[in-house]
Structure formats: C-alpha cells, structure tokens
Structure 1
Amino acid sequence: MKMTESFCNASFVDESPVGVVIVECIYISLLSVLGIFGNLFVITVVIYTKSLHNPHYFFLCNLSGFDLFTNGFLMPIFITTLIDVNVTAGFCEVIAYLRLWTVGMVLCTLSLMSFNRFMKVVLKKETYRRFTSKRWILLMIVSTGCITCPLPLTPLWGFGEVGFNVGLHHCTFTYSYDGWLLAVLLESVGLGVTVLLLFITNYVIFKTVRDSKRRVDLQSNSVNKNSFAFNIGTGTVRQKQKDNNKVASIMLAMIFTFMICWLPFSIAMFFNQNCTVPVPLLRFMDLLVWTNSTIDPFIYAYCNSQFLKAVKRLLPNWLNA
C-alpha cells in the first residue's frame, strides 16, 4: 500500500471502535440503496417522458448518472475498505482517481445546469435553441470531461498523492502532506470556481425575472386591463416568470445542499496541513460528503412540479404492467 512517511501517517493510530465502523457501514449501505433507487428513478422517468426531453433534463440525467456511479460502485468499495484495509495499492489509486473525477463531473454538471437555465432566461428563444442543440450539448459535456480529467491526475506528474487514506478509511487523497496539497488544489479550483459560477448565474436569473415582473406591472397600469389580448399576454409572461423562479429555486436548493455536505469537510481540509483536525470529526464530515449523491434526486423529485406530473402519468402504467 502506498503511503507517504509523513507526520500524519507516522503519528496516526486507528482507534475507531468496532461499533463506530458498523454504524458507518450501515449508514453508507442505506445511502447506497436509496441513491441507486432515487437516481435510477429520475433517469427512467426522464427517458419515458417526451415532454422532459430537453437540455435541462439531459443535464439532470447526466448528474444522476454520476451520482448513480457513486452509489452503486464507489460506496460498496468504501464499505469494503471500512471492513478490510488490505486493498491493493494500484487498485486503490484507480478508485481514488475515479472518485475525484466523479466529484469533478458532478460539479461541472451542476454548473452546466445552472448555465443552461441562465441562457434560457437571458437569451432570446432562437439564440437559446441554437446554443442548446444536440451538437452543442454534447460538446459541453465532452469539454467538461476533458477539463475535469487532468486535475485528479496531477499525482502522476509529481503533485499530490492518492491511495488509501488511513484516516478516512477509503481510497482518495492520502492522509499525508502530499494528499493535503492535492485536496487543497481540487477544492480551490473545483469547489471555489463552481460555487462562484452557480451563485452568479442564479443571481442574474432572479434579477432578470424580477425586472421582467416590474415591466409587466408597469404595462398593466398603462393599458386596458379588460383587454383579452392583455390578459392572455400577461398571463403567459407571469407563468413563465413563475416557472423560471421555481427551477432557479430548485437549483439553489441543490447548491445549498451541496455546500452543506461539502463545506465543513473542505474547511477542515484547508486547516489540516499537519493533520491536527481530529480524525473522528473528519470522518463524520466525510460521511456528509458521501450523502450528497443520495440527496439530489429526492430534492428534485419533490420540488419540481413538471417532474411530479410526469411521475403521476407514468406510475399507473407501471403498476398495471
């Protein structure tokens, strides 16, 4: 097993009680089962509902796909490493790269979802359609994948280290100074840039919708409110504003959930250069990180009226099949 001989590894002694390990295994198992069900359900509903075949739901399926990979593949391996730390070094490094790359792709997909909603609200309909064709969407996905790949691979070029983390008990950046460097790099570039982009795009969305509402209110005070054309026009605009606000609110809920799950761990890692943060606290915050991939589909399913309508149409057919 590859482990850097640093202050961290040299001074670390795993004293986790058996009971704690059992609780961790049960918790991760529940996350895995719920996450597999939730993410598969989201993907299935989108595939079987033609009205959901649009860029926003394509990115949602993409997000669910990466979360499903975490729930169905990475979490069972995490449970294995909690029970038995004798994992082959090469295999553990591959799993660490996959874990870090998956997190990067989740961040990029959240950014694309928010940017897509930003374009739909800000750009004209014809311009939006031009930039959300199948070719452009595929290009965006491939581009984000290419951008995300090099960052977790920096240990291959001598910066940082991945392998079995003796503190967290799974395959990721190592419990060492080199592992800390890699964690700080990924969190600064990935998490920092993504959160900034998400907040900027959603702020512009809410501001645009608010300004549009004000214009409609001003127009309503200057024209005949009994006019049939006026009622139809303002009704359509207000409904569009309401829909944009709902989707933006769901995106913000997903962002805040992501931050609640990731921010404590990220802050702790920034101040853990000499491994001074208590390991039990780190492991608790790490469990929050794993929780994120399970929560996303349930947030979306319970908050999105269009998705719920699709579920209500499909469930009777599935139950009677």
Structure 2
Amino acid sequence: MASPGTIVLNTFFGCISAVTIVGNLLAIAVFVKDGKLRSTGDVYILNLAVADLMVGAISMPFTIAENVIGYWPLSQTFCKAWLLVDFTACSESVLSMVLISFDRYLQIVKPHKHRAKTFRMKVVLLAITWILAFLMYGPAIILWDVLTGVSPIKVNRCEADFPLRSAAYTFAMSFTEFVVPFGLLSYLYAQVYWHAIRWFRRRPSSSDGGRGIPTELGKMFHRRLAVNLTILLLVFFVCWCPYMVGTMVLSQCTSCIDYHSIAFVALDWLLWTNSAINPFLYAYCSPRFREGASRLLPKCCRTQTTGHISPQPV
C-alpha cells in the first residue's frame, strides 16, 4: 500500500506530465494548422515540441507507473527501449534549444545568411541533431552489457546506472550535454542582445523630426530583450545544472550521493520539468505561435495578443 506522501508526490509528477503533454501538443497543433510557419525558424520550435512531448508522454508516465507499482513490470528489452527514447529525447531537446538560439543569432546578426537557409537545409540539420542525440547514449544503452558483460539496468528497476559503471564516460557525456550547450546558448544570446541594441541605437531618435522611435520605447525594448534572454538561460541552467552536477559528482564518488534517494529522483524530475516549461518559453513567445494558440484555445482561455516591440522576433 503506497504511503500518502508517495501518492502526493506521484500526483504532482502526473501534473507535470500532463502540462508537458498538453503544452507541447498545442505547440505542434499550431504549427500543423499554420503552414506559413514552415518557412521560418519556427520549424526548430516544432522539433523542440516533439522532443519535449516524448519526454512528457513516454519518459514521465513510465517512471510514475514504476514508482506506484514499486518495480519495473516489463522486460529488460522494453526497458532498454524506454531508456533509449528518454535519453535521446532529452538530448534532442537541448540540441533543439541550441538550434533555436543559432537561428535567432543568424536572423538578427547575419540576416543575409538566415535568408539563404532553405526549409530543406533546416530539415537536414534537424536530422543531424537527432543522430547526435542518439549517439550520445544510444550505443551505451544497447551495447553496454554486450561489451562489458555487466548490465547497466538494475534488477526490477529500469534506470541506467552509468555513473556507477564508468566515471569517464558519464563525466564526458554530462559535460557534452550541458556545459557545451549552455556555453553556446550564452554566447549566441549575448551576440543577439548586443547586436539588437546597436541596431536600435542606430534608429533615428524622436528628435529627428518626430519620425524615429521614442527613447522610452527603446528602454522598454532593451529591458524586455534582456529579461527574455535571461529567463531562457536561467530556466535551462536551473533545470539541468543540479542533475548534471549531481551525476558528475556521483561518477567520481559513488558514496557521496545516494543514486536511488528521493533527492536524486527530484533532480531527475527537475531536468524533465524543462520540457514542460519550454513551450511557454519558446513557442508562445513567438507572435505567430501565440496568435495560433489563441485561435485553438476556448474563448474563456484566450488572451489578447499584445504588440511586439523588438526589431526581430526573439
């Protein structure tokens, strides 16, 4: 019989899963309904929504079921398949965020190169990221027991315990999956911010015959742009950093952290929560996505689309 605390905790996890599924399904529905989005960088947002939907619809529910039952009820083969989807989808979610930031960088800093990118080129780039996401953990999940003779999957539990098997591999993958993307996101968004500010400052001021943009609007633009970019980076850092740091510490010192403790489970769910937040940070921050989502929602849930003051969609 599950304890009240366990019931409350898994109910909370179920709510996170539901928000992840609904939010990302809405983002995908907007893209499918509005064909014009296919000619823009929003195709990367669609890809992000697909990866995050996999996390919400596959990664989270099976973990909740395992927690409720108390053990993994299916075969090891199915466990490997589930782990493969989970790790690949999470890695692709990060790579999609990097693609979105790179697309915005090109759109604002190098618009001529951004215009030269065709839809087919974007699809090829997305295919490459899915291959990379699979290669990060896929071969290890599939072949670890074959190559080492030791199964990475616990008996009656479905969890890859790479941190307990190979410190070097775990540290390298954690660095590749979090530190490198975070560095790229920080650099690209810093370039977007400074270039957008320089673009704005070169606009005619309100003193030039009243034809320019008011100074107060410029300040509002700077503030909104800084806040938006800071939130994007901060959410990714807060959701991913604790788990990755914990994993890297565990890879070097297995006695320092209990891999099966509630605290470590919470870090895992904090990482997954990023997939629940992403639709609101990326899809619904796009004016076209926001308008499309508003048309799909019931009238009682719609919000009026406000003006967009940035020189380019950010």
Coarse TM-score class (shorter-chain normalised): 0.7 to 0.9
C-alpha distance in 2 between matches for 1:102 and 1:34: 17
User: Which of residues 232, 244, 257 is equivalent to 1:277?
Assistant: 257
Aligned counterpart, 2:305: none
Aligned counterpart, 2:71: 85
Are the aligned partners of 2:107 and 2:114 in contact in 1 as well (CA < 8 Å)? yes
Aligned counterpart, 1:117: 104
1:33 aligns with 2:53: no
User: Which of residues 194, 199, 203 is equivalent to 1:212?
Assistant: 199
C-alpha distance in 1 between matches for 2:249 and 2:3: 28
Are the aligned partners of 2:45 and 2:282 in contact in 1 as well (CA < 8 Å)? no
Aligned counterpart, 1:307: 289
Aligned counterpart, 2:241: 263
Q: For residue 118 of structure 1, report the CA deviation from its aligned partner.
A: 0.2
The aligned amino acid for 1:123 is: K
Q: Cα 1:200–1:210, aligned 2, differ >3 Å: closer, same or farther?
A: same
Are the aligned partners of 1:32 and 1:71 in contact in 2 as well (CA < 8 Å)? yes
Q: For residue 173 of structure 1, report the CA deviation from its aligned partner.
A: 2.3
C-alpha distance in 2 between matches for 1:25 and 1:226: 62
Are the aligned partners of 1:93 and 1:163 in contact in 2 as well (CA < 8 Å)? no
Q: Cα 1:243–1:173, aligned 2, differ >3 Å: closer, same or farther?
A: farther
Aligned length: 289
1:68 aligns with 2:53: yes
C-alpha distance in 2 between matches for 1:175 and 1:283: 15
Taking only the aligned residue pairs, the percentage that are identical comes to 22
C-alpha distance in 2 between matches for 1:78 and 1:109: 24
Are the aligned partners of 1:161 and 1:174 in contact in 2 as well (CA < 8 Å)? no
Q: For residue 244 of structure 1, report the CA deviation from its aligned partner.
A: 9.8
C-alpha distance in 2 between matches for 1:255 and 1:89: 37
C-alpha distance in 2 between matches for 1:201 and 1:261: 20
Are the aligned partners of 1:36 and 1:71 in contact in 2 as well (CA < 8 Å)? yes
What TM-score comes out, normalization by structure 2 length? Answer: 0.78
Is the deviation greater in 241-250 or in 256-265? 241-250
Q: For residue 204 of structure 1, report the CA deviation from its aligned partner.
A: 0.5
The aligned amino acid for 1:265 is: Y
C-alpha distance in 2 between matches for 1:77 and 1:159: 27
1:246-270 Cα distance to aligned partner (Å, 9 max, x none)? 6785454233212111111111222
C-alpha distance in 2 between matches for 1:280 and 1:160: 29
Are the aligned partners of 1:246 and 1:304 in contact in 2 as well (CA < 8 Å)? no
C-alpha distance in 1 between matches for 2:150 and 2:98: 27
What TM-score comes out, normalization by structure 1 length? Answer: 0.76
Q: How does 1:1-321 map to 2 (within 5 A)?
A: 18-50=3-35, 52-82=37-67, 83-86=69-72, 87-124=74-111, 126-131=112-117, 133-155=118-140, 156=143, 158=147, 163-164=152-153, 171-174=158-161, 177-178=164-165, 181-216=168-203, 220=205, 225-226=208-209, 231=211, 234-235=212-213, 250=228, 252-272=230-250, 273-278=253-258, 279-300=261-282, 303-315=285-297
1:286-310 Cα distance to aligned partner (Å, 9 max, x none)? 2212222112223346645443333
Identify unmatched segments of 5+ residues in structure 2: 302-314
C-alpha distance in 1 between matches for 2:286 and 2:154: 38
Say which one has the larger Rg: 1
Identify unmatched segments of 5+ residues in structure 1: 1-16
TM superposition outliers: structure 1 runs of 4+ over 6 Å: 159-162, 238-245, 316-319
Q: Cα 1:240–1:120, aligned 2, differ >3 Å: closer, same or farther?
A: farther
